[in-house]
Structure 1
């Protein structure tokens, strides 16, 4: 946990050039992610294969990191323990996992001459320490996290527009990126004072999820709505029975029954109304992943292998190979139990802190950000269970950036709680 040294950073001057590079990082990362001119089709846009250009956003992120650290050094040349070190130290399993993937990928590329490696997964994890250090290096603690959420919201009209256009054309768009957008409803619903705007954003997210016509988008939307519902239950505990409460309960029961009936109807008529989910190709790639794990359950391939799986005679988009379509299965099969334990333990450590903050008395903005970032990360992990967003740099770096922000905001929330408790103790002694 950040120590009392953190208080010294609260008074530091912002190193403006670091902020400029942060904004450039967000601009180019979102430009490559969203591709506003949509030069390709569906999930396979030209921006997925731009060669070195896909690293543009991360280059500016490294610039932001450099200038922020320089600014911290200028402001506090004698500081021995900057607060970001404690946040990164707590998440050591994630960083160690990233090093494991990086080493394996470099060996695969340089020693075995494999072109399609897990290098993008390893580089994407750099978004985690980038977010943590940027968060702690700017005087306004919440600025980086706040701007991150606002930047995602800013490109939302482009996402919704292309999703609807492609749906009308019979295609789809952004289904592996959707986890970055729909969960925004949680943060803005909790933080906006203008309720009409908060409801407008929520309704926009519902439209986005339904129009996507993808199973992944439906799951992300469901998780988001359930999270909002649970927040409402916690914030408004059981009171005396009233007519209003009876109406609410009655409406919920009716809505639940309608939802069950709708799900049953869709399952009975799946081929006509629901997306296929590419069951046939996924069965091939998932089986291959499971077999790899069985062959080497301790450390898998050490990520010294290709990301592609032979499709046994099937052709998908003109190719007889395809990615596993499950990042989590890739972690299991290529990292073995070692990789999975590091990955899951790192996630557990960050979420343990986040939950502790939500249980404590901290300011509303911290709680709103923890809720919003948590749902983005959870939906990202769900998406990674059935797709491959993490081995694609454009989505992976933003997922890990959101996760790093969650870790930093949680640490800052714990700091506020400890200050609050110290203040109460001082009052009691007085």
Structure 2
């Protein structure tokens, strides 16, 4: 093959390993960063509480989305079929979001209820499928995902820093699943002992500074994942299968000893841990369960207030109208099985796809895990540990925290191909080429002479 014919058949790649973002994609990253700032609230400014600034990140996210959609539809019409793939990925959650929005609009305009579930439904669609479509249709999807990851880690580090300065305050309340996992990225992605030790230290500090039970649970989930992931990859790469199996058995015993150690540590320190205001929670949880039992099929169809008047005792807040502090119970009480089933199926489908991709290294034993797999593990941990946090806190009932949660689901799905399989074989093994596989290079059109030279040269 001649030199010219060889060059003519090569894919076009960016001159730089990190191509620049388009202006509209940059606006999406800025909107996501603002949502993170509003949710984590590292400076305790409580901008999410003020009427003037409460919805600023959401408005910017909608504006950036509209600009991106307009540009792609007008100048890149070949990307329209990608919408079908995104809808298939989020089909169950789209049904859930439509149900929530429909009931909330009826509550807002027909029943004059201000505190509706409208933002919960909008966040599902805007944060999840819309962001996934924007990433998959971007000219530089890997750069866009990487930029969002940097924003998540940067804001989380800022939150931990400020919470350490103001030790004991809860600056990122109900966002432990995002902050702790993000600052643990050196532990998840690193290979050098000092790098991994710094990630473990930051994760521990992020849990201790606010002193929240849910934070300690997320901390244990992160450490458990790192331990199991390292054990399975190391033993899968062992040529001696018997020795690898014995190492896994030993690892299982060490894991059980670790669980016993955690139980003993909890018993020894529970007097110094927060009680979680169990009296308040049990009362509101019982109210939600009673509502579900009264109407288990569709609940209140989300045509009701997202907060309730708490009459058991006076709480130390500006109002007695408070949320249930459990998103799963809220969904059951207000949506019944018609709301809970698509919610559960939608979450399990995307988590299962990410789980299958991550555990392929447990079979192949590939230890060269690139940044793409580390990002996938980070977003998978955010999504899975977020289920624990939302069981005891109103994550989905808050505009910014809900958007951030579903945005992380879009990042996770973006690291998978449309059918839930790896975008390339290198992604499954965690190769550094995984990022390049997302760039979707196109071949240079060849002239007839170049084709003739190629055929002659064999």
The TM-score normalised by the length of structure 2 is 0.78
Instruction: Kindly state the Cα deviation for residue 321 of structure 1 after the two structures are TM-superposed.
Output: 3.2
Looking at structure 2, the residues matched to 407 and 231 of structure 1 have their Cα atoms a distance apart, in angstroms, of 20
- Distance (whole Å) between structure 2 residues aligned to residue 419 and residue 208 of structure 1: 33
**2:445: which partner in 1?**
none
* CA distance in structure 1 between the partners assigned to 2:267 and 2:356 by the alignment: 39
Partner of 1:219 in structure 2?
Answer: 217
The answer on whether the counterparts of 1:124 and 1:400 sit within 8 Å (CA) in structure 2 is yes
Instruction: Classify 1:81/1:277 alpha carbon distance in 2 versus 1 (closer, same or farther; 3 Å).
Output: same
Match of 2:101 in 1: 102
Q: Is the 8 A contact 1:64 1:134 kept in 2?
A: no
Matched, 1:33 2:39: yes
Partner of 1:151: 151
Q: Is the 8 A contact 1:14 1:139 kept in 2?
A: no
- The residue aligned with 2:27 is 21
- Aligned pairs for 1:187-206 (under 5 A) are 187-192=185-190, 196-206=194-204
Note if contact 1:266-1:273 (Cα within 8 Å) is conserved in structure 2: no
Report how far residue 112 of structure 1 moved.
Answer: 1.2
Answer yes or no: is the 8 Å Cα contact 1:88–1:132 preserved in 2. no
Rounded Cα–Cα distance in structure 2 between residues aligned with 1:147 and 1:380 = 22
* Residue matched to 1:408: 414
Task: Give the alignment's Cα RMSD to 1 decimal.
Answer: 3.3
Structure 2 counterpart of 1:112 = 111
Q: Deviation of residue 394 (structure 1)?
A: 1.3
Query: How far did residue 390 of structure 1 move?
Result: 1.0
Q: Shift of the alpha carbon at 1:58?
A: 2.2
Provide the rounded CA distance (Å) in 2 between the counterparts of 1:229 and 1:345: 28
The answer (yes or no) to whether the contact 2:92–2:345 under 8 Å persists in 1 is yes
Q: CA deviation at 1:81?
A: 1.5
The answer to whether the aligner puts 1:328 opposite 2:328 as a matched pair is yes
Structure-1 separation of matches of 2:79 and 2:36: 34
Residues 1:237 and 1:20: Cα distance change in structure 2 (over 3 Å): same
- Equivalent in 206, 209, 217 of residue 208 of structure 1: 206
Q: Which residue of 2 aligns with 1:164?
A: 164
Q: Please say if residues 298 and 337 of structure 2, whose CA atoms lie closer than 8 Å, have aligned partners that are also in contact.
A: yes
Q: Which residue is equivalent to 1:4?
A: none
Q: By how many angstroms is 1:16 displaced?
A: 1.6
Q: Secondary structure at the match of 1:377?
A: helix
Tell which deviates more after alignment, 216-225 or 20-29.
20-29
Q: How far apart are residue 211 of structure 1 and its match?
A: 2.5
Contact kept? 1:118, 1:391, Cα under 8 Å: yes
Deviations 1:121-161 (A, max 9, x none): 11221211232022112222222322222112112333113
Instruction: Please state whether the residue corresponding to 1:167 is helix, strand or coil.
Output: coil
Is the 1:15–1:68 contact (alpha carbons within 8 Å) kept by the matching residues of 2? Answer: no
Once the two structures are superposed, residues 256-292 of structure 1 have per-residue CA deviations (whole angstroms, 9 ceiling, x without a partner) of 657635633533663x211111100011100000000
Report Cα offsets for 1:31-82 as digits up to 9, x if no partner: 322334323xxxxxx3231225222222222233223233333553345512
Question: 1:2-31 deviations in whole A, cap 9, x for unaligned?
Answer: xxxxxx9999x9872212211320232123
Q: Distance in 1 between matches of 2:258 and 2:352?
A: 36
Change (3 A) 1:395 1:195: same
Aligned to 1:139: 139
Partner Cα separation in structure 2 for residue 37 and residue 96 of structure 1: 37
Structure (1 or 2) with the greater helix fraction: 1
Provide closer, same or farther for how the CA distance between residues 120 and 275 of structure 1 changes in structure 2, counting only shifts above 3 A. same
CA positional deviation for 1:178: 1.4
Q: Which residue of 2 is the match for residue 375 of structure 1? A: 381
User: Normalising to structure 1: TM-score of the pair?
Assistant: 0.82
- The count of aligned residue pairs is 399
The runs of 5 or more residues in structure 2 that have no matched partner are 1-10, 429-458
Residue pairs, 1:338-353, within 5 angstroms: 338-353=338-353
- Residue range with higher mean Cα deviation, 69-78 or 21-30: 69-78
CA distance in 2, matches of 1:264, 1:202: 21
Deviation at 1:215, TM superposition (A): 0.7
CA contact (8 A) 1:105 1:119 kept: yes
1:87 corresponds to 2:86: yes
Q: For the residues of structure 2 that align with 1:29 and 1:136, how far apart are their CA atoms?
A: 21
Alignment match of 1:231 (pick from 229, 232, 242): 229
1:187 CA displacement: 4.5
